[in-house]
Every structure is written in C-alpha cells, then in structure tokens.
A = this chain, B = another copy of it.
Amino acid sequence: MARPRSERRAELERAATELFARRGYHAASMEHLAQAVGLRRGSLYTHISGKSELLAATVEHGAEAFNRALDEGLAAAPDDDRMRLREALRAHIGVIAATPDAAACFLWEWRHLDGAERERAVALRDAYQARIRELLEDGVASGALRGDLDTPYAALAFLSLGNWSATWYRPGGKLTPAAIADRLFAVLAEGVGTS
C-alpha cells in the first residue's frame, strides 16, 4: 500500500534537513534527495515543486523548534529577568544540541532562499531575535540587567554565543548543553572586565 502523501512529504522534509545541513544546500541535489527517500527523481515532483520549497520548510521547522523551546523554557523559569535570560540561552543551545540539522537550516542555510521564501525566512528570524531583545529590555526595565545596556548589541551578543555553538557543539562531551549555556551565560552576564 502506498504511504499517504503527507507522510511522504514529512519524510522528504526530514531527508532534506539532514542533506542541506551536512552537505550545504547547493551541494544537495534532487538526486541525493530521491535516493534518501527511495523514490525516482521524477517522482519527487508529485510531492514538491522544487528544492527551495524544502529548504523553506526546514527553516519553518527550525523556527518552530527555537520558539517552542523558548516558550517552554520561559514557562518554567523563575520570575527573575536575569534567570529568564539564562533559561533562554539554555533553550537555544538545547535546540542546537537536540536537532542540529534543523538548527543549521534556520541559522545558516536560509541564506540560499530567494524572493518570498527568503522574506519569510528573514521574518521568522527577525521575530525570534525580537523575542530575545524583548527579554533584555524587560531585564533593563526591571533592574535585573544593567540600566545602560546596549540592548541591540546585547541581543546580537546573546545570539552569537548561541548560534556559534552550532558550529562546535558535539554530543557526548563532558558538559550537558545546559551546563555549556550556563558557562557562556556567566561570561555574558558578568562580563570579562573588572567592574
């Protein structure tokens, strides 16, 4: 019995996420995709219009993962804006550790999209970044963070710490993703300089 269309589509999206993240979007061919899911190349087009549609879908999945993790982290966080920010970094690095390929598509491979698909990816990224910036602004307002904080660049610094971990994090290390997040967060929160 043929599998339902939606199941095949989900399988294609999973295969695309892995291929795009590991080989890079341009190096992942329709032929690779067809092989990964056991279809003939021509049959792919009954499921998708082309490769960029799959990249756009992987970016959506990545955005959902980061937003959901942030929702869950904040729901469980103490009512202290500094701790909420630490929880946000744990959530962010947790997604990278748990689903590195989807994270790589959201963080990196989206650049290969064009037109409306690219605009959508940029909007998803902007919305997530705005949530981080808002956490920082809340912390400034409540007095948990520095009153003179440069929030746009602090948000950029926060995201740099989180995002760059996608390039070096490997499972099975001494520290859990949460412990890595906490050590990076301590540097970000306390600063390297003498106060």
Contacts and interface: CB of A to CB of B under 8 A. Distances in A.
B193 A153 contact: no
Interface string A16-57: 000000011111000000000000000000000000000000
A141 interface: no
B190 A191 contact: yes
B157 A161 contact: yes
Number of copies: 2
A192 to B, nearest CB: 5
A92 interface: no
Contacts of A154: 187, 192
Contact of A192 (B85, B160, B167): B85
Interface string A50-93: 00000000000000000000000000000000100100000000
A183 interface: yes
